[in-house]
Amino acid sequence: MGYLFLTGATGLLGSYLTRDLLARGTKLALLVRGTKWASARQRVESLLERWEKQAGHALPRPVVFEGNLSAPDLGLGADGVRWARDNCSAFMHNAASLTFQGDGRDTEPYISNLNGTQNVLEFCSQADIRQFHHVSTAYVCGLRRGRIFESELDVGQEHGNDYEISKFESEQMVRAADFPDGLTVYRPGIILGDSKDGYTTTYHGFYVPLKLVSSLITQTGGLDVPEEMVVTGIKLGSQRLREILRLTGNERKNFVPVDWVSAVMTHVYTNPEHHRQTYHLTPRRPVPVEVFQRVMEQMFLKYTRIKSKAKATNVDWSEFERFFLEQMEVYRSYWGDDPEFDSTNTQTIAPHLRCPELDDTMFRRMCEYAIESNFGWPKPPVVKPEFDAADHLTDLASTDAEAADIQLGLQVNGLGGGQWAVQVKDGQPVSVVPGIHSKCTARFYMNSQTFKRLAEEQTSVEEEVRTGRLLIEGNGLPPEQLRGILAKVAQKKA
């Protein structure tokens, strides 16, 4: 298979998909926006560094394109379209805006979820990408109740917010397009953090009331009241919230941990016989609102600094309540009772991947991670590799492979690594282009430290092959010539 072009890789779900797909040997190309703090490649390095520390070994690097969903050709121009046409066999559209309420169709979430999807579809058409994987949401069902089937989309339903409308129309748009090799649609429930450690980078929905109360506690340095008053205040606040949002506490929500969603999607993508279906990625047993409400109450008490044991005094909660309910109003439909999502397709193809049950223990883990990480602030420093192979190869970089007699793959794993095809003419390397493809007759595999030593002439290709730190697979040229070409590429001697 060729490369899978993935959007939204630096988001929560996207970062897990990047990790899991790379671990399964999928060749990835990522569309990533640069920011004023970091380039697209630096953002990808930052998320991969975390996975490498967790795994204890280096990971392959995807091909990274700096672009934007809102731009024609995704901001990649004719060269980017040409590269995708030559190298990509599939597209997975995962990027989306999670904004619940917009100020019109020229604002978010419509800009990303509709205009962005239209640009993606036009890009795929120009690049002749024939297979499409679309990340939708289970809540395209809108305000429907009862049992929702994976085969259903438009049954005349109403929607509760702009996010649902934009994702519904986005899925309609994708279904109306023509992909000869098929369309696969993933509809996750409400994605929370990691089931094992609570890790998350996104703090919407479920995390909002937790974040608001945590902010109050932080700003006031703790509530200067007796413990019984804190408990009473929290419980009264929860009761008042239920009244305002018209909840009974028995409502059920379809929460799912991000690691499970990514595991199922990766299983589907890497097994082509499971393509061309729609999958509800929802729990078998939705979670009652009272469960996570109870856990939040415990967390508020745990992280509140109680300074006085004196007789309880009156505490004026009115100002905080006003602010709290104002912020929560955006999520009114979010907290309502969920329908029952049929997940027959998901359970049929992945019976071995059961959704972890989100019980009190797991919810506490989610809450503790959010509070102890201060809801992702300050952001971790940008990872800047000591040695960046892409920067090192800039003088040889090209997007034109037409003049080459032979092409050789170069894969450098780990921090600052990447993937390239070395263009060889008359037995000499003339340039490198992004990505390794089927025309590469031989391939070089190493980590970034090995490539750095070769680039700085601290070692030889022969020595690295002998010690097993460098692997050469394939042929097309005599072994001595292959080793000589790699040495010239590392030392930028075209």
Q: Residues 446, 453: contact at Cβ < 8 Å?
A: no
Residue extents of the structural domains in the chain: 3-199+253-287+339-357, 389-490
- The answer, yes or no, to whether residue 312 has pLDDT greater than 50, is no
Confidence category of residue 298, pLDDT binned at 50, 70, 90: confident
Give pLDDT, residue 1: 79
Phi, psi of 89 (to 5 degrees): -105, -15
Mean pLDDT, rounded, for 186-213: 92
- The answer, yes or no, to whether residue 362 has pLDDT greater than 60, is yes
Percent residues over pLDDT 90 in the chain: 71
Report how far residue 130's alpha carbon sits from residue 1's, in angstroms, rounded to the nearest whole number: 12
Contacts of residue 284, Cβ cutoff 8 Å, sequence gap at least 6:
343, 347, 354, 355
Q: Residues 359, 295: contact at Cβ < 8 Å?
A: no
Confidence category of residue 311, pLDDT binned at 50, 70, 90: very low
Lowest mean pLDDT among 79-88, 289-298, 470-479: 289-298
In whole angstroms, how far apart are CA 414 and each of 62, 68, 120, 348, 455?
A: 11, 26, 29, 36, 16
Return the higher-pLDDT residue of 364 and 305: 364
Report how far residue 229's alpha carbon sits from residue 247's, in angstroms, rounded to the nearest whole number: 24
Q: Residues 232, 313: contact at Cβ < 8 Å?
A: no
Phi, psi of 354 (to 5 degrees): -80, 140
Report how far residue 352's alpha carbon sits from residue 268's, in angstroms, rounded to the nearest whole number: 13
Give pLDDT, residue 230: 53
- The answer, yes or no, to whether residue 321 has pLDDT greater than 90, is no
pLDDT per position as a tens digit, 80-90: 999 999 999 99
Confidence category of residue 196, pLDDT binned at 50, 70, 90: very high
pLDDT per position as a tens digit, 421-469: 999 998 889 999 999 988 899 999 999 999 999 999 999 999 999 999 9
- The answer, yes or no, to whether residue 238 has pLDDT greater than 70, is no
Give pLDDT, residue 307: 46
Mean pLDDT, rounded, for 318-335: 72
Instruction: Please spell the DSSP secondary structure of 293-351, one letter per residue.
Output: HHHHHHHHHHT------SS------HHHHHHHHHHHGGGTGGGSPP-EEP-HHHHHH-T
Return the higher-pLDDT residue of 218 and 372: 372
pLDDT per position as a tens digit, 157-178: 999 999 999 999 999 999 999 9
The radius of gyration of the chain from alpha carbons, rounded to an integer in Å, stands at 26
Kindly state the tokens that stand for 183.
């369309």
Report how far residue 46's alpha carbon sits from residue 52's, in angstroms, rounded to the nearest whole number: 10
Q: What is the CATH number of domain 389-490?
A: 3.30.1050.10
Lowest mean pLDDT among 281-295, 407-421, 461-475: 281-295
Percent residues over pLDDT 70 in the chain: 88
Report how far residue 154's alpha carbon sits from residue 149's, in angstroms, rounded to the nearest whole number: 11
Return the higher-pLDDT residue of 114 and 313: 114
- The answer, yes or no, to whether residue 116 has pLDDT greater than 60, is yes
Report how far residue 81's alpha carbon sits from residue 124's, in angstroms, rounded to the nearest whole number: 8
Report how far residue 189's alpha carbon sits from residue 284's, in angstroms, rounded to the nearest whole number: 11
Give pLDDT, residue 239: 65
- The answer, yes or no, to whether residue 316 has pLDDT greater than 70, is no
- The answer, yes or no, to whether residue 234 has pLDDT greater than 60, is no
Mean pLDDT, rounded, for 57-85: 96
Sign of CA dihedral 332, 337, 341, 346: positive
Kindly state the tokens that stand for 466.
């002998």
Task: Sort strands 278-281 and 183-188 into parallel, antiparallel or unpaired.
Answer: parallel
Report how far residue 127's alpha carbon sits from residue 78's, in angstroms, rounded to the nearest whole number: 10
Report how far residue 104's alpha carbon sits from residue 317's, in angstroms, rounded to the nearest whole number: 34
In whole angstroms, how far apart are CA 23 and each of 267, 283, 287?
A: 12, 25, 31
Mean pLDDT, rounded, for 293-300: 79
pLDDT per position as a tens digit, 11-58: 999 999 999 999 999 999 999 999 998 999 999 999 999 999 999 999
Contacts of residue 396, Cβ cutoff 8 Å, sequence gap at least 6:
429, 431, 432, 489, 492, 494
pLDDT per position as a tens digit, 216-225: 666 555 545 4
User: Which fold is adopted by the domain 3-199+253-287+339-357?
Assistant: Rossmann fold (3.40.50)
Alpha helix stretches (DSSP H) within 56-187: 77-87, 110, 117-127, 162-176
Which residues sit opposite 119 in a β-bridge? none
The continuous run of DSSP H or E covering 53 comes out as helix 40-55
- The answer, yes or no, to whether residue 313 has pLDDT greater than 60, is no
Closest to 8 (Cα-Cα) out of 20, 22, 18: 18
